[in-house]
Structure 1
Amino acid sequence: MADGGDAPDDSIFDLSKKKKKKKPKDDAAGAEKEGDENTPTEQQTATKEKKSKSVAFAAEASENQENQNTEPAAGGAAGDDDDDDDVLATRKKKKKKSVKTDATGEGDLQKETTTGTAGDETAIDTTSVQGEYTYDDLLTRVFNIIREKNPNVIEGEKIKLTLKPPQVARIGTKRTSFSNFGEICKSLKRQEKHLHQYLLAELGTNGSIDANNALIIKGRFQQKQIESVLRSYIKEYVICKTCRSPDTLLQKEERLSVLLCNNCRSRYFVSGIKTGFQAQVGKRAATPEDVYNPPNGKADPERCLIIAHGLFGFRTNWRSLAKAFSERANIKVVSVDMRNHGDSPYTTTMTYDDMAADLMQTIRKHNMPKTILMGHSMGGKAAMLVALQEPALIRKLIIVDIAPTISASVGEIPKYARILLNNIQKIQHEKDIVAARRAMDKILQESAESLRQNKSIRDFLLMLIASDESSGQFVWRANLEVLEEHMEDIMLFPTEFDNAKTNVDTLFIAGGKSNYITDQSIPKMKRLFPSHRLIRIPNAGHWVHSERPHDFLKCVLPELEIK
C-alpha cells in the first residue's frame, strides 16, 4: 500500500527521482535500529527503486516486490506473527511520513520542488501546481475567443477568394494588354491606381490604364508572370494576417497605408508602393534619338542642334529638315522622341517638368558648349522650361508656333485622341498600311467637322498608324491612353514660371494662319524671354515646318551660326 500510495509523487518528480530518494535512505537507517528484520525489506525496496525506469510501471513493480518479501518471511518463521508485524509497522511508518510530507500544504511542496530543482540540471515544470497558463494554453484561449466572436471563422467555413485569371494579350511587339484589370480590382476591392503601381514596380516596366479599364504594359509578359505578381499583391495587401480573410479594406492614415479586416476587426500597417517609373532610381531611361552629321564629317565640335517634336509627332517627322540643317550649317543635329511617343519609354506621367528633364539629359549626354534647342508645340513648351530652369545648358532657343500660355486648340485636340482610340479595331481587316490609313481618314472626316475641313491635321494624325509585323495588326505609335489622361496638362503652361525669366537668346517662329501665338500672348513672352524675337511665316498653319519647309529653313539657318 505504501508503494502504491507513492506512485503519484513519482509522476510529478520523475526527472529528478534518483536524487530525491536520498532522504528516505536515512529513514531506512533509523528503522534498522529498531529491528534487523527490516533490513532485507529495505534493501529489496532500494533495489526496486534503482531498477524502476518508468513511472507507468512503478506501482506494479512495488506490488510484485512486496509479494516476494512476504513469502520468504512466512516460510522461514513458520507463521511468526512478530516478523510480519514489524515489517508492516515499518512500512506504515514510511507511509505515514510520506503522507505527512504530502499534507504539509502547497507551500511546503513548492519549497521541496525548488530545492530539488537547485540540485538538478533539469528544470521542473510547476505551472500546473501554480495554476498558471502555458503558451499553448493562452494561444488556444485566444483563438477560442476569436471563434466565439466570429462564428464564420471556423474550419470548413473560411471565406475564400476566387478570381478570374488575368486575360493577357500581346499588342504588337512591344506592349502587353491586361484586359480584365478593372474587373480584378473590383473583386479585390482595391483602387486601380494602387494595383497598377504595384504591378509596374514588380514587373520593372511602365504602362497605363486605357478607357476600357485595361492595363497596357510596356514590354512582353506572359499570363503566368502577371498571376505571380497578383498572388504576391493579394498576400501583402488583401489577405488579413490574423484570420486569413480577404474581406479587408485598404485606407490611408497620415500618409501610411492601413489594412482593416471586416471579419476579425484587426488593423495593421502595410508598406507603401513606389511607382514603376519612379522606382527606377538612378539614370533616366535613354531617350531615342537620331543623329545627323555633315556628309564630309567636318561638323563644328562645339555646336549642336537638338530638336523636340510636338504632340502626336515623332523624331522622324524632322528627318528632311535635320539633314538640311546639318549639311548647310555644318552642325551636329539630334532629333529625339518625346516620352510616350514613337520609340521612347511609355510612362505614367506626362508633365512638362518630366519632358524638360528628358531634354536636359540629352543635352548633357552630348555635352556641346554651344547647344541650340528647338521645340515645336508641346516640345517648344518643354524647351522653354529648360531655358527657364537651366539657362546655362543652352546658347540659343528656337520655339516653333507655341507660346507660354494655354494652347489655342485646347478644345479640339483631346477629341482626336479619343476618336483614334475608339476606332483602331475598325481598320484591322485592311490588307496593308495604305488601306488602313485610307479607312481611318474616312472615319476622321465623319467624326469631327474640324477634321473634315483640315486635311493637314488628318494627314498628321494618320502618321500615328503603324503595322506590327509580328502580330499582323495595326497599332498606334504613341501612348494615346496616357496622352489623353494628361491632355489638360499638355494644353496649359506651368503657372509656377509666370514670374520667371531668362536672358537666353530666343526666337519665336509662328505660322501666319495659326492662332497659337496671338497678340494676347506676346506680353508674357516678353516677360519670360526679354530678348526674344518673333517671325511669322505667311500662309503657314500650326505645322509651319512641314507646310512651308523652305521658308522655315531660311528662317532657321542664320540662327545656327554662333560665334
Structure 2
Amino acid sequence: MENKRFAIGMEGRFRPIILNTLRSTYYSRTFVRSTVNLSYKIIGENSVEPDDEEPAVFILHELLGIKRQWGSLAKTIMNITGRQLVAVDLRNHGESPHANSHKYEELTMDVINLFEKLKINRATIIGHGMGGRTAMCVSLIAAKRVTGLIIIDTSPVSTPKQLNEEFPKILIAMKSFDFKNAKKVNNAKTEAKKQLENIVTDDLTMDTVLSNVKVKPDGTIGWACNVEIFIKHFPYIKSFPPAMTVKQYYGPTLFIGGQMSEFLPPDDLTSIREIFPQAVITYIPKTGHNVHVDDPKTFLELTISFLKATS
C-alpha cells in the first residue's frame, strides 16, 4: 500500500476553542449536557499524553459489541506500531452508562468528551459498523482532532437490508428473553442462544449478542446493553445523520469492506468521496461484515500500513 494514497492529518486544537466551536456550530447545548462518561481500556505501557508525536488510536465497536472483543487485535496493533490504543464501550453498551437516547450526535459528543478527559489532542479512530458511523461523525465535527479514519464495513450513504430488517427482530427477541430463572451466566447464554437461533443468521452475530449476557450491579443476570433504547431509537441507529452529509473531512480515510457483506456497497463510493474526499475503499475477499474476525491477518496488514503512513 503506497503512502501517497493517504493525506496527512491536521493538528489539534485546545479544549476551550473546540467546545465553543461545537456549541456555536452544529451541536446544541443539549447534546453537550447529555454526554456520558464512557468506559475505556488503554492498551500500551505509558499513560496517554496530550501532545504525543504518535497520536492515540481509538477503537469504537459495532452495535451490540463491547470493547473487550478488540483486545487481541488491539494489542497486536500496539506492539507493531507503537501507537497507544484506547478501546471504548459506547453509551448503552458494555460497562458504559445507560442513557435514554442513542443518536449519533450524542455518541459523537461522548467520544469527544473522552478525548477531553484523557487530554487527547489528536487521534486516529477505528470504527466498526455503528462505531464506524460514530467515528465519521467525530471527524466531521472535530476534524482537527482526527488524524485519520479506518471505517470497517459501514457506509454513510446507505443502510443494508440485514441491518434494517434483521437487527430489529434480534433486539425484540432479546427484550423478550426472561432471565428470572438464570443462576449462572453460561446457563443464561445457552438458553438465550436457543431462543435466538432461528433469528440470528450467523455465528459471529450470535457471539456478539451473547457477549452482552452478564451479572449486573444488582447481582442479577441480564443484558449489559440497553436493549429497550436500541429498539426505541433504531431509526437513528440505522441511518447516518443527514446533517452530517453536507460536511467534509479531508483527512486520510480508509474504508475496509467485506466482499460478501452488503454493508458497504461499491455503488456508494462516489457519494462517500463527496463527504470524505481522501477516502480509499478496499474489500477483503471471502469476508462478511466482521472482516477483522473473518480475516484478521489481512485486516491487520491494511490497518498497520495505514497507521504507519499517517503517523
TM-score range, shorter chain: 0.7 to 0.9
* Residues 1:411 and 2:159 aligned together: no
Matched, 1:319 2:66: no
Q: Please tell me whether the aligned partners of residues 373 and 398 of structure 1 are also in contact (alpha carbons under 8 angstroms).
A: yes
Cα distance in 1 for partners of 2:227, 2:188 equals 18
Q: How does 1:147-546 map to 2 (within 5 A)?
A: 284-294=35-45, 301-408=53-160, 409-425=163-179, 428-446=180-198, 448=199, 451=200, 453-468=201-216, 471=219, 473-546=220-293
Give me the whole-angstrom Cα distance separating, in 2, the residues matched to 1:470 and 1:349. 23
Distance 1:542 1:476 in 2: 23
Give CA-to-partner distance per residue, 1:169-201, whole Å, 9 cap, x none. Answer: xxxxxxxxxxxxxxxxxxxxxxxxxxxxxxxxx
Please give the per-residue CA displacement for 1:11-53, whole angstroms capped at 9, x wherever unaligned. Answer: xxxxxxxxxxxxxxxxxxxxxxxxxxxxxxxxxxxxxxxxxxx
- Contact residue 302 and residue 369 of structure 1 kept, 8 A: no
Q: Runs of 5+ in structure 2 lacking a partner?
A: 1-28
Query: Given the two structures, how large is their TM-score scaled by the length of structure 2?
Result: 0.82
What is aligned with 2:10? Answer: none
Which structure has the bigger radius of gyration?
1
Q: What SS does the aligned partner of 1:348 have?
A: coil
Change (3 A) 1:414 1:387: same
Unaligned runs of 5+ in 1: 1-277
Q: Which whole-Å deviations, capped at 9, do the CAs of 1:51-92 have from their partners, x for residues lacking one?
A: xxxxxxxxxxxxxxxxxxxxxxxxxxxxxxxxxxxxxxxxxx
Counterpart CA distance in 2 for 1:547 and 1:320 is 14
Identity of counterpart residues, as a percentage? 26
Matched residue type, 2:258: G
Q: Which amino acid aligns with 2:241?
A: P
Residue aligning to 2:23: none
Conservation of the 8 A alpha-carbon contact between 1:294 and 1:326: no
Post-superposition offset of 1:500: 2.1
Displacement of 1:316 in angstroms is 1.0
Classify the secondary structure of the residue corresponding to 2:191. Answer: helix
Structure with bigger helix share is 1
Q: CA deviation at 1:469?
A: 7.6
The residue type equivalent to 1:559 in the other structure is F
Counterpart of 1:554? Answer: 301
Q: Aligned equivalents of 2:131 and 2:97: distance in 1?
A: 16
Bigger RCO of structures 1 and 2 (CA < 8 A, at least 6 apart): 2
- The alignment of Structure 1 onto Structure 2 pairs a total of residues equal to 279
Alpha-carbon distance between aligned partners in 2 of 1:338 and 1:280, rounded to the nearest angstrom: 15
Provide the rounded CA distance (Å) in 1 between the counterparts of 2:207 and 2:115: 31
How far off is 1:489 after superposition?
0.7
Listed one character per residue, the Cα deviations across residues 300-358 of structure 1 (whole Å, up to 9, x for unaligned) are 65321011111111111111111111111111100111111112121111111111111
Asked if the contact 1:377–1:400 (Cα under 8 Å) also holds between the matched residues in 2, the reply is yes
Distance 2:32 2:249 in 1: 31
Aligned residue type for 1:289: Y
The CA distance in 2 between the partners of 1:388 and 1:282, in whole Å, is 20
Q: Write the distance in 2 (CA, Å) between the matches of 1:555 and 1:499.
A: 28
TM-score in terms of structure 1 length: 0.47
Report the Cα distance in structure 1 between the residues aligned to 2:209 and 2:278, rounded to whole angstroms: 35
